[in-house]
Amino acid sequence: MSGEITLNGNKFSLSGVELKPGFKAPDFTLAANDLSDVSLKDFKGRIVILSAVPSLDTPTCSLETARFNKEAGKLGDKVKVLTVSKDLPFAQARWCAAQGVKNLQTLSDYKNTSFAEDYGLLIQGLHLLTRAVFVIDGEGLIKYIQFVKEVSEEPNYNAVLDAVNELI
């Protein structure tokens, strides 16, 4: 178990591995919007902002993903922004099209819980990802982690961007 969060004030436990800065980021295989497999190793040599959200169809997740899309447009080719949820890839594609999201990539962990478990993100009882952001360097080392303790709140974007700018 990697911790505890709240969702609208209700406490939930998280399942999975507790990661810390300096750890090697676990590789993953997630589904892209076209159902192709995407792995962390696909981004070797690039800084990765890995944003985990419960569902793009909720207000806070929508705001967060739109904000990271905006920031991704400013960061350049050295940085790849990924947003991961358990939404079906078709729903992610529909949401991105409706919101005009083109600067980041949405990925789905709908097939199993390996990503959620390997990153300590699985909300027990809900089978959703908690809200968290990881910054991973080009060699695959975790440089920054932010778990948002109240899932209905947005992350501290400035802290994430500061961590990224230290690596650029």
Distance from C-alpha of 38 to C-alpha of 52, rounded to nearest angstrom: 15
pTM score: 0.96
Distance from C-alpha of 165 to C-alpha of 114, rounded to nearest angstrom: 30
Q: Is 96 a catalytic residue?
A: no
Averaged confidence pLDDT in the chain: 96
pLDDT digits (tens, 9 = 90+) for 51-85: 999 999 999 999 999 999 999 999 999 999 999 99
Tokens (6 digits) for 123:
């909300």
What is the structure's pLDDT at 2?
Answer: 64
pLDDT confidence band for 112 (50 / 70 / 90):
confident
Coil, strand, or helix at residue 48?
strand
pLDDT confidence band for 116 (50 / 70 / 90):
very high
Catalytic residue among 19, 61, 79, 82: 61
